[in-house]
A = this chain, B = another copy of it.
Amino acid sequence: MNFKKLKVFTTVCDCGSMSGAAKKLYMTQPAVSQAILELEEELDVHLFDRINKKLLLTYPGEVLLEYARRILVLVEEAQSTMKDIANMNTGKLRIGASTTIGTYLLPEIIRTFGQKFKNIDIPFAIDNTGVIEKMLLENSIDIGLVEGPIHSKEIIVKPYMDDELFIICSKNHPWAARKRIGPGTISEQNIIIREQGSGTREVFENTMSKHNIPYSIKHVLNNTEAIKKAVEANIGVSVVSEIAIKEEIKSGRLVKINLEGVRFLRKFNIIYHKDKYHSKLFEEFLRHLCSGNF
């Protein structure tokens, strides 16, 4: 018993004749006849009564027909679904991202990717880089977008884009008109910054100490949105990734300030497992990342 024979059987039932089924299946009559005989032999059952040239289903024939139809429907559905997956008409890509990227970049990335590929399931997780790395290793995500360093040798790290942190102030702040300040002026300001452990804070502190610039932290907020609101309210100045403030810069609510001779640079990376098969959807997502401007 195999799919083909079941298909032959159901077709014969539909047509009421072997020759009709043969025509429909692009086979010869003998092949159809043989398939039916083999089914009958294998199952030790007569499927048809041959009365007056008419093929009439026997009881076991009826029973088998029921099963055969159900099986073939499932098989065809399976094949069609797999074809959809192969053609990326359906699929799944599990994405992980570290906090900043996940918050400010990922939504737009997923939105546009989802537009390009309908019916695609794109579950995502947002957590710090270490957790995202771990998820990649235990195969609970397919690809990650992170800011921090990766340690596992099994993970391929591909630079995605350069990120830069900027000092920001309110449009009402005295700096707003100047856009450039000297390193010395910063120590006079109330600095609002993310909590210890944040990648953003780490880059800021490292860079500042590298340049031996003194500064004093006034407020600590564990949330970029809260920081932006605080700066907008002119409670102090802060430093955040440029991707977090596009909107506010555009509308003029916040102003980017250049600290003379100092830049806060880091890289965003795409990470994925070196041994994992790269599905077409995966490749498309990579292409999508590199093509788009997010």
Contact = CB atoms under 8 A, between A and B. Distances in A.
Given A51-B139, A91-B59, A71 B64 contact: no
A99 B22 CA distance: 45
Contact of A59 (B70, B92, B275): B92
Interface stretch (A77-85, A156-164, A284-292): A77-85
A183 interface: no
Given A51-B275, A56-B139, A67 B81 contact: yes
Interface residues of A, number: 40
Contacts of A210: none
Interface stretch (A10-18, A40-48, A251-259): A40-48
A293 interface: no
A85 B63 contact: yes
Contacts of A64: 78, 82
A277 B67 contact: no
A194 interface: no
A1 B75 contact: yes
A261 to B, nearest CB: 47
A294 interface: no
A123 to B, nearest CB: 11
A226 interface: no
29 contacts: A1-B3, A1-B75, A2-B2, A43-B82, A43-B83, A44-B86, A45-B82, A49-B139, A49-B273, A49-B275, A49-B276, A50-B275, A52-B275, A56-B139, A58-B277, A59-B91, A60-B86, A60-B91, A63-B82, A64-B78, A67-B74, A67-B77, A67-B78, A67-B81, A70-B74, A71-B71, A71-B74, A71-B78, A74-B74
Given A48-B277, A56-B139, A71-B71, 5 more contacts: A49-B275, A51-B139, A59-B279, A64-B82, A67-B74
